[in-house]
């Protein structure tokens, strides 16, 4: 039998070596492919407007205007203005009626979209690559010459109020995350919701929207980005031609991001008519340019995402997913790492049956403490691969690439090359994950937001007391044994 075992081992060894060589070859090819990705070119015009593009061999392209404007630049009196402008932006310009604008875009087979976030507003267009010049002109017209008449504003107001009701009734994830921001960053502008309160929506007028556009739509706060079969030199000429008249100076003080302050606290909206409890728990993370952001993203990937409709939950590499599937702790959970200019939220959102709130939260916090103290190299390697897969999948196609360019250039002034990002992820070790977990999670006051039948959710002080483990060091343990 011993000889058979030795023979079996000898036979397996070449296969293992071949597998190692294959893995090494694949890793080298992967790194080479990333290094050969086309670079993102960025140019700053004299007005301060930045032009950025990436050439992608495709018949379709996406071009967009990205602006430093959003809910975080608002206060309690005008919160909701940026989102309101989104709803009237495509209702026509001083040069084009709404029907003429829609017909012109439709005849090209293009799609226009406006999106508002907490720190950015984007105007994007998907089109054939040959139509990029025309779409740049249309986007410039929409931003510089919005019509903003009273009739359009009145209709948009009714639409927005209806959408707010729909979100509150049907998109509880967004509601909970809004509550999470409201309690975590209370007293600061980052607590503002994108929608704004209904009272503000009812009072916003056309002049308010014109004032908003005049204050924020300035060249130094804009990025014209494109991805597809486009050339940087041509995009620069288009920017000069159609956006050259955008003002670069401000009447008074330029809009600035106010300082933020994280507050460990909670917000609960108990509603027993809702069948499931929706809960989010988070600690303060780091800003988008912080050196810890990659390690925190790996830590988030290690916790993972799970839904009970997924197959093989009990065989998942995520320990929290295994516990959730085996003990039916929740319907789904999602670990997140939200980053802003100077801060962030690192945490988890889950949906569970009312009587499972306590057990689910116990397992979540237990896993967080394990991140701080016992996470292994193998787990981190798996999480790094998952993170790289997810990030690369999110950059599939010109549309995703264009939005990533606009976001990064606005926040960082440049776009990080994929091979640099891959290298930063690959350099994260288990020790790095434990270090950032100790820094941001261990013994930190969390923010909690919960909606639905949440009576079984532990009170805040119990949640706070589970944010650390009391453990004896080896020397203290030996000392107590002798005593």
DSSP for 137-185 reads HHHHHHHH-B---HHHHHHHHHHHHHHHHHHHHH-HHHHHHHHHHHHHT
Would you state the pLDDT for residue 479? 52
pLDDT tens track for 274-304: 999 999 999 999 999 999 999 999 999 999 9
Is 22 domain-assigned?
A: no
- pTM (predicted TM-score): 0.89
415, 405 in Cβ contact below 8 A?
yes
Instruction: Please tell me the total count of domains within the chain.
Output: 2
For residues 186 and 300, state if they share a domain.
no
For residues 172 and 280, state if they share a domain.
no
Calculate the alpha carbon distances from 153 to 146, 160, 174 in Å. Answer: 12, 10, 25
For residues 357 and 423, state if they share a domain.
yes
For residues 204 and 346, state if they share a domain.
no
Is 201 domain-assigned?
A: yes
pLDDT block averages, 10 residues each, the chain of length 483: 32 39 63 76 95 94 96 93 95 94 96 95 96 97 93 94 91 96 96 95 94 92 96 96 90 80 97 96 97 97 92 80 93 97 97 97 97 95 95 93 96 93 96 97 98 97 94 52 56
Domain boundary among 210, 244, 278: 244
- Pick the catalytic residue from 86, 119, 284, 367: 86
Q: Find the domain containing 327 and state its range.
A: 266-481
Q: What are the strands, taking DSSP E only, across 240-364?
A: 265-270, 277-285, 305-307, 332-339, 344-352
Number of Cα atoms under 13 Å in the Cβ half of residue 242? 23
Is 211 domain-assigned?
A: yes
Would you state the pLDDT for residue 482? 58
For residues 239 and 304, state if they share a domain.
no
235, 45 in Cβ contact below 8 A?
no
Is 35 domain-assigned?
A: no
Would you state the pLDDT for residue 299? 98
For residues 270 and 214, state if they share a domain.
no
For residues 309 and 446, state if they share a domain.
yes
Would you state the pLDDT for residue 481? 54
Q: In what order do the strands lie in the sheet with 332-339?
A: 265-270, 447-452, 277-285, 344-352, 332-339, 305-307
Is 429 domain-assigned?
A: yes
For residues 164 and 208, state if they share a domain.
yes
Q: How many residues does the chain have?
A: 483
State the angle between helix axes of 293-303 and 357-373 in degrees (0 to 180), rounded to the nearest 10: 130
347, 446 in Cβ contact below 8 A?
yes
Distance of CA 293 to the CA centre of its chain: 12
For residues 191 and 312, state if they share a domain.
no
For residues 232 and 300, state if they share a domain.
no
CA-based diameter of the chain, in Å?
Answer: 90
For residues 207 and 351, state if they share a domain.
no
Is 23 domain-assigned?
A: no
Nearest to 457 by CA among 330, 319, 334: 330
Would you state the pLDDT for residue 28? 75
Is 254 domain-assigned?
A: no
CATH number of the domain within which 114 lies:
3.30.830.10
Domain boundary among 192, 213, 244: 244
Number of Cα atoms under 13 Å in the Cβ half of residue 423? 9
CA distance 373 to 434: 6
Is 395 domain-assigned?
A: yes
86 catalytic per annotation: yes
For residues 288 and 214, state if they share a domain.
no
449, 277 in Cβ contact below 8 A?
no
């Amino acid at each position: 039998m011993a000889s058979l075992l030795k023979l079996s081992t000898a036979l397996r060894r070449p296969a293992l070596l071949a597998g190692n060589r294959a893995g090494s070859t694949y890793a080298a090819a992967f790194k080479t492919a990333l290094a050969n990705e086309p670079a993102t070119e960025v140019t700053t015009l004299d007005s301060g407007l930045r032009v950025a593009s990436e050439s992608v061999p495709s018949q379709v392209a996406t071009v967009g205007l990205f602006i430093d404007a959003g809910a975080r630049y608002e206060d309690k009196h005008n919160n909701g203005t940026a989102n309101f402008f989104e709803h009237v932006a495509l209702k026509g310009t001083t040069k084009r009626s709404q029907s003429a604008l829609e017909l012109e875009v439709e005849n090209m087979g293009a799609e226009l979209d406006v999106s508002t976030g907490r720190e950015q507003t984007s105007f994007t267009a998907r089109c054939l690559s040959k139509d990029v010049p025309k779409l740049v002109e249309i986007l410039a017209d929409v931003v510089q010459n919005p019509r903003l008449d009273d009739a359009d504003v009145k209709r948009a107001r009714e639409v927005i109020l209806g959408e707010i009701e729909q979100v509150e009734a049907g998109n509880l994830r967004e509601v909970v995350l809004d509550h999470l921001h409201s309690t975590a960053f209370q007293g600061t502008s980052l607590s503002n919701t994108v929608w704004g309160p209904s009272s503000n929506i009812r009072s916003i007028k056309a002049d308010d929207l014109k004032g908003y556009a005049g204050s924020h739509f300035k060249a130094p706060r804009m990025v014209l980005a494109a991805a597809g079969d486009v050339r940087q030199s041509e995009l620069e000429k288009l920017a000069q031609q159609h956006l050259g008249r955008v003002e670069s100076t401000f009447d008074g003080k330029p809009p600035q991001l106010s300082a933020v302050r994280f507050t460990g606290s909670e917000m609960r909206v108990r509603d027993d008519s809702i069948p499931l409890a929706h809960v989010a728990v988070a600690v303060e993370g780091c800003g988008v340019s912080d050196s810890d952001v990659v390690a925190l993203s790996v830590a988030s990937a290690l916790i993972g995402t799970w839904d009970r409709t997924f197959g093989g939950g009990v065989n998942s590499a995520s320990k929290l997913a295994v516990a959730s599937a085996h003990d039916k702790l929740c319907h789904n959970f999602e670990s997140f790492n939200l980053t802003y200019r100077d801060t962030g939220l690192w945490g988890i959102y889950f949906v569970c049956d009312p009587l499972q709130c306590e057990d689910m939260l116990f397992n979540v916090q237990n896993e967080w403490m394990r991140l701080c103290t016992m996470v292994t190299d193998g787990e981190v390697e798996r999480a790094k691969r998952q993170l790289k897969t997810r990030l690369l999948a999110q950059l599939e196609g010109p549309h995703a690439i264009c939005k990533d360019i606009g976001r990064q250039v606005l926040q960082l002034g440049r776009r990080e090359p994929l091979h640099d990002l891959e290298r930063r992820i690959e350099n994260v070790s288990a020790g790095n994950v434990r270090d950032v977990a100790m820094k941001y999670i261990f013994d930190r006051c969390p923010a909690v937001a919960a909606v639905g039948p949440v009576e079984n959710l532990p009170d805040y002080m119990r949640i706070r007391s589970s944010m650390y483990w009391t453990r004896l060091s080896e020397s203290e343990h030996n000392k107590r044994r002798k005593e």
